[in-house]
Amino acid sequence: MNTMKTSTPIDRLPRETYATLRPYVPIMTPVDVELSENTNQWGAPPAAVEALRACDASALFNYPSQPISPLLAQLAEYVGTDDPATIVLGCGSDDILDCSMRAFAEPGDTLAYSDPTFSMSEYFGRTNGLTPVGVPVLPDWNVDVDGLLATNARIIYLCAPNNPTGTPIPEASVRRLLDESEGIVIVDEAYAEFANSSWAKRAPSEERLVVFRTMSKAFGLGGLRIGYAVGRPELLLEINKASGPFKVNAIAERVAIATLKNGLPWVQARVKDAQAARASLRESLIARGFDPLPTEANYVMLPLPNAQAVATKMREKGIAVRAFTGLAVIGDALRITVGPEHMMQRCLSALDAVLEES
């Protein structure tokens, strides 16, 4: 009698819910000017570069000091909570987003988000078995608070300023969601340094608020993947349970600490540069007859028909911008990261040339 076990076909091994998912794969072909990823185009803080050069071999063969990292205290001081227990670290803020989906919702629960927003919120919702529900933004770009509340979601995700639009979220809208929703409210403040408001300092005093921050944008440390969340220690404990150990590596940890200690003046100066650059870019686009969205981030969103074709042709000219197609309320659009003046001029010249050729 044949007692050999029949193997499961390879196409039946993955979870069924993963069948429609596609991994995030950025376009990495070389370009002269990279304006598609919202990173700091002025570079990295000199204090960070110096700290990186000073790292010795112990940063390679020893584990980092988390979860009692001195980085926690530095970040708590930076955001104004002054309590390391109000901070949790991750390998980028999207790592913390992934962990939060597991920590605060059971498979089958609803994740609600304002649409359009950071695409990884829906993605991580699906990978963790949640039911994502996008609620279109209102015509004035504000979140639809009534629509979000109507979902009875276990988790409500907001990005402020919003990615990819750059538009702010009024504090009154967040306040109402905190007061009237039943679950956790996540406010992703990846671009908060460029904006006019933040919930980070207040997060530990709120019962159901978790604020995400990152050192990948204004701090110019995108390659080190340093994210963190701010909130009540009881909530952050649950995120830690959903995470593995040592999510921020030892080199990143040392560089981040040095940047917070010695690099903040540089960061603050580059934030002012980015704010000036985005105002100038919007003015230049408006002068060309376009209608870019209002923005408080380090990028400008430009509604534009056939945005993908335009972005492809701009890349052929050495300029990378991010194309979006079929966005709720907006349609097709380009998202353009701001940078030094010479980059902006090359971007505008390429855009002009592509549109003239079309």
Q: Is the pLDDT of residue 4 over 70?
A: no
% of the chain with per-residue pLDDT over 70: 98
Mean pLDDT for 267-289 is: 98
pTM, full prediction = 0.94
Q: Is the pLDDT of residue 220 over 90?
A: yes
Pairing of strands 299-303, 331-337: antiparallel
> What average pLDDT does the structure give for the chain?
95
Between 307 and 17, residue with greater pLDDT: 307
Decide if 228 contacts 29 (C-beta within 8 A).
no
- What pLDDT sits at residue 175? 98
% of the chain with per-residue pLDDT over 90: 87
- What pLDDT sits at residue 27? 76
- What pLDDT sits at residue 54? 96
- What pLDDT sits at residue 32? 96
Mean pLDDT for 25-32 is: 83
| All domains of the chain in start order, with CATH | 27-43+265-357 (3.90.1150.10), 46-262 (3.40.640.10)
Mean pLDDT for 279-293 is: 98
Contacts of 20 (CB under 8 A, 6+ apart): none
Q: Is the pLDDT of residue 5 over 80?
A: no
Q: Is the pLDDT of residue 358 over 90?
A: no
Among 53-67, 83-97, 135-149, whose mean pLDDT is lowest?
A: 53-67
First to last CA, the chain: 71
- What pLDDT sits at residue 238? 97
Mean pLDDT for 180-196 is: 97
Q: How confident is the model at residue 63 (pLDDT cuts 50, 70, 90)?
A: confident
**DSSP per residue, 91-118:** ESHHHHHHHHHHHH--TT-EEEEEES--
Q: Is the pLDDT of residue 1 over 60?
A: no
- Match 């709720």 to its residue by tokens: 328
Taking each helix axis from N to C end, the angle separating 250-262 and 46-54, rounded to the nearest 10 degrees, works out to 140
Q: How confident is the model at residue 25 (pLDDT cuts 50, 70, 90)?
A: confident
